[in-house]
Each structure stands twice: as C-alpha cells, then as structure tokens.
C-alpha cells in the first residue's frame, strides 16, 4: 500500500502527465466551478455575517452584547456547554476504551447506537424530551408534584444539548484508538503500571489531538444548537434563551445588526474550530511522515 502511494506521488511529480491529468483548460474550468460553488454557498454567507454585524458601526456591535438579555443568553450558552461537553467527553473516552481495547460481540451495533443522535433530527431530539418530561409526558405528573421543571427551563436545554452532542468525542476517538491498537498499553502493564497510570502516561499522549478536536467540535455544536433547544426552551427572554435563540428573536424583530453581531461571535467560534482542526490534521500528517521516515 505504501509503495502505491509513493509511486503515485512520484509519477505526478516527475510530470508523467498524460495519463492522470486533464488539459489545462479542463483543469481551470473544474477549479473555477468548485470555487464558484463554494463561494456561493460558503464564502458569501461568511462575509455577509461580518459585514452586516458591523454595518451600523462598532457601537451597535458592542451594545448587542451589553444588553442584559444577550448577557443572560451568553451565560446560559456557557453553562450548557460546561455541562454537556465534560459529560460527553468522559463518555467518549470510556466508550472508545471499551470498544477499541477489547473484543466483544455486538461491537458494531454498539457503535451504530452511539452514532444514533447524528441521524435523529434536532427537532425530534427536542420532542423526545418533551414527551418524557413535559406536563403531559411520562414523568410530567411526578415532576409537577415535586415542583421540578425540566421542559421550558434550563435543565431541558442542557439535556437536549447533551443528546445532540452525544457522539462527537466518541466518534473521534474510536477509529483513532482502534488504529493505534493496544500493544503500548500491554507493555505498560508488563512493566507494572496501574490502570490510571496506563491511561495517563500511555493512552492520553497518543490520543490527545484527536480528543482535543472531538472536544472542540462538541463544544461548537453545544453552543450553536438551535432546533432541539428551540423545542424545549419555551423562549423565555432572559431566562431560557441561548445565543442561537436570542439571535432568532433579534432577527425576527428586524434588529439585523444585533442579530448578526451575535451570529458573528458564533461564527468566530466555528472558525477557531476549523483552524484548530487544520492544525491538528497538519500535525498528525507530519507525525505520520516522520514515523515513515524512521521506518
């Protein structure tokens, strides 16, 4: 396999063009088509977000964040991420450890079940928790009797977000740890290391970049979730609005500058996520190349 890859890179570099390359014209047309398409669906929206956010000056931009409703939305968003991300990170590490380091039957079914929240519509993710905890839901009466409110309150928002971001860390780690195998951990055991020591000294250094990316992506999604949160929130201003929900209210009130100011902050978060992802990929590619050289 390695030989193939090498010869492929080799022949293109030497300029054996006839077999694998199109004429320059076709090449240019294809590149132009791809770039045009990406500009229309990705780049223009991105530019528009920042342009609109600052369209009425920096003063309006800043005041969009000093509004008490906006502040409470930011606080709730941070709280939601602060609960959902650590929970799903611990789960992701546990699930990846159990799946990658051990053999058991039903493994593929388990992986499919972990991926399930990806396939479920965000609205349905909200719906299932309304059905469980809503006033006419399964636990509705019990919750009412004990004066606990989950739906149309903060706990509902957090639970729905946990569901939506459930697979992110696990999904990054499982293939990574499966590819790495468990020889290193086995040697650590032979050398007398304990369980926690093995994880901290052997496994964690190996998976840290994948783990970091999973956590970042999970965080971006937790802060940006709209559909599921919108079903369970009840849209109470200053109480149960997250940043995306606050953005919706501003937008529907035709307060575009403020809406896009909030949007620009969420976009900034998404861009940081992408930069980190590229850095991590670049690092791991370099790491692989170095390993290959050593071999």
Among positions 103-142, residues that touch other proteins (CB under 8 A) are 103-104, 110, 112-117, 119-124, 127-132, 134, 136-138
Among 156, 210, 214, 224, binds other proteins (CB under 8 A): 224
Taking CB under 8 A as the rule, does residue 169 contact other proteins?
no
Among 35, 58, 62, 290, binds other proteins (CB under 8 A): 35
Among 46, 60, 212, 280, binds other proteins (CB under 8 A): 46
The total number of residues shown for the chain amounts to 295
Taking CB under 8 A as the rule, does residue 45 contact other proteins?
yes
156 in helix, strand or coil?
helix
Taking CB under 8 A as the rule, does residue 289 contact other proteins?
no
Task: Tell the smallest beta-carbon distance from residue 147 to other proteins (Å).
Answer: 22
263 in helix, strand or coil?
helix
Taking CB under 8 A as the rule, does residue 22 contact other proteins?
yes
Task: Tell the smallest beta-carbon distance from residue 283 to other proteins (Å).
Answer: 14
214 in helix, strand or coil?
helix
Residues in binding contact with other proteins, number by CB under 8 A:
102
Handedness of CA 105, 108, 114, 116 (dihedral sign): negative
Cα–Cα distances (Å) from 179 to 6, 100, 174, 251, 252, in that order, read 21, 8, 9, 46, 48
Cα–Cα distances (Å) from 159 to 126, 200, 228, 233, in that order, read 9, 29, 10, 11
Among 149, 255, 273, 284, binds other proteins (CB under 8 A): 273
Q: How far apart are CA 140 and CA 149, in angstroms?
A: 9
Nearer to other proteins, 239 or 266 (CB): 266
Quote the tokens at residue 26: 């076709």
Residue 89: CB atoms within 10 A of its CB come to 20
Report how far Cα 173 is from the mean position of its chain's Cα atoms: 13
Within positions 179 to 198, which residues make up the interface with other proteins, using CB under 8 A?
182, 185-186, 189, 194-195, 198
Q: Which stretch binds other proteins (CB under 8 A): 13-21, 61-69, 204-212, 284-292?
A: 13-21
Taking CB under 8 A as the rule, does residue 244 contact other proteins?
yes
Nearer to other proteins, 154 or 219 (CB): 219
């Amino acid at each position: 396999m390695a030989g193939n890859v090498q010869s492929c890179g080799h022949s293109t570099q030497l300029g054996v063009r006839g077999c694998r390359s199109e004429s320059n014209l076709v090449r240019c047309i294809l590149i132009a088509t791809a770039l045009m398409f990406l500009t229309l669906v990705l780049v223009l929206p991105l530019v528009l977000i920042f342009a609109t956010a600052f369209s009425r000056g920096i003063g309006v931009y800043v005041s969009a964040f000093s509004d008490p409703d906006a502040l409470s939305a930011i606080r709730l968003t941070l709280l939601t991420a602060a609960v959902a991300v650590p929970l799903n990170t611990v789960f992701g590490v546990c699930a990846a450890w159990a799946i990658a380091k051990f053999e058991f039957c039903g493994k593929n079914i388990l992986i499919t079940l972990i991926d399930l929240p990806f396939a479920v519509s965000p609205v349905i993710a909200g719906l299932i928790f309304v059905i469980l905890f809503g006033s006419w839901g399964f636990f509705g009466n019990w919750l009412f009797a004990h004066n606990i409110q989950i739906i149309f309150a903060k706990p509902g928002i957090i639970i729905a977000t946990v569901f939506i971001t459930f697979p992110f860390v696990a999904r990054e780690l499982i293939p990574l740890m499966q590819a790495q195998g468990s020889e290193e951990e086995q040697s650590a055991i032979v050398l007398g290391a304990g369980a926690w020591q093995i994880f901290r000294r052997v496994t964690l250094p190996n998976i840290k970049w994948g783990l970091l990316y999973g956590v970042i992506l999970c965080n971006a999604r937790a802060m940006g979730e709209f559909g599921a949160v919108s079903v369970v929130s009840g849209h109470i201003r200053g109480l149960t609005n997250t940043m995306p929900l606050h953005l919706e209210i501003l937008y529907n009130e035709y307060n575009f500058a403020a809406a896009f100011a909030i949007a620009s902050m969420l976009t900034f978060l998404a861009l940081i996520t992408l930069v980190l992802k590229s850095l991590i990929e670049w690092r791991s590619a370099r790491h692989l190349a170095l390993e290959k050289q050593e071999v």
